[in-house]
Amino acid sequence: MAPSSTAEEARQFVAKADDEFRRLLIASSVAEWAKQTDITTEHEAAAAKAGEELMTFITRVIKESRKFASALDQLDADTRRKLHLIKIAGQPAPDDPKQSAELAALATEMDAIYGKSKVCDAAGACKDLGALEDILATSRNPAEQLAAWQGWHDTTGRAERDKFVRFVELANAGARGIGFPDVGAMWRSGYDMSPEDFQAETDRLWNQVKPLYSQLHCYARRTLNKKYGDKVVSKTGPIPAHLLGNMWAQSWDYLYPDMEPYHGVSKVDVTPALQQQKYDAVKMVKAAENFFVSLGMNPLPDSFWERSMLVKPPGKEAVCHASAWDVTYANDLRIKMCIKPNHEDLVTIHHELGHNYYFANYYNLPVLYQQGANDGFHEAIGDTIALSMTPDYLAKVGLLDNVVKNDKAVINQQLRLALEKIAFLPFGLVVDRWRWDVFAGKVTPAQYNQHWWDLRKQYQGIAPAVARAATDFDPGAKYHVPANVPYTRYFLAHILQFQFHRALCKKAGFTGSLNDCSIFGSKEAGSALKAMLAMGASRPWPEALKAMTGESQMDASAILDYFAPLSAWLAEQNKGQSCSW
For the annotated catalytic residues, the residue numbers are 321-322, 351-352, 355, 379, 480, 490
Backbone angles phi, psi at 309, to 5 degrees: -105, 100
Question: Hey, what amino acid is at 463?
Answer: A
Nearest of 314, 248, 202, 176 to residue 481 by alpha carbon? 248
Start-to-end CA span in the chain (Å): 63
Backbone angles phi, psi at 203, to 5 degrees: -60, -45
* Cα distance between residue 251 and residue 424, in whole Å: 6
Q: Is 179 exposed, middle or buried (0-12, 13-18, 19+ CB in 10 A)?
A: middle
Beta strands in 381-485 (DSSP E): 462-463
Give CA separation, 355 vs 372, 375, 580, in Å.
9, 11, 37
* Cα distance between residue 224 and residue 227, in whole Å: 5
Which positions ≥6 away from 314 have C-beta within 8 Å?
A: none
Q: What is the dihedral of CA 163, 168, 174, 177, to 10 degrees?
A: -140
Q: Parallel, antiparallel, or unpaired: how do β-strands 239-240 and 333-336 relate?
A: unpaired
Residue 463: Cβ within 10 Å count: 18
Q: What is the dihedral of CA 545, 549, 555, 556, to 10 degrees?
A: -120
CA atoms within 13 A of residue 249's CA, in its CB half-sphere: 30
Q: Is 157 exposed, middle or buried (0-12, 13-18, 19+ CB in 10 A)?
A: buried
Nearest of 354, 353, 352, 320 to residue 337 by alpha carbon? 320
Q: Whats the size of the chain, residue-wise?
A: 581
Question: Hey, what amino acid is at 48?
Answer: A
Give CA separation, 286 vs 37, 300, 309, 437, in Å.
21, 9, 14, 42
Q: Are 107 and 167 in contact (CB under 8 A)?
A: yes
Give CA separation, 333 vs 86, 300, 336, 423, in Å.
24, 8, 10, 31
Helix (H) or strand (E) holding 359: helix 343-362
Q: Are 566 and 259 in contact (CB under 8 A)?
A: no
For 323, the 3-state DSSP assignment is strand
Question: Hey, what amino acid is at 525?
Answer: A
Q: What is the DSSP letter of 368?
A: G
DSSP assignment string, 380-400: HHHHHHHTT--HHHHHHTTS-
Largest CA distance in the chain: 77
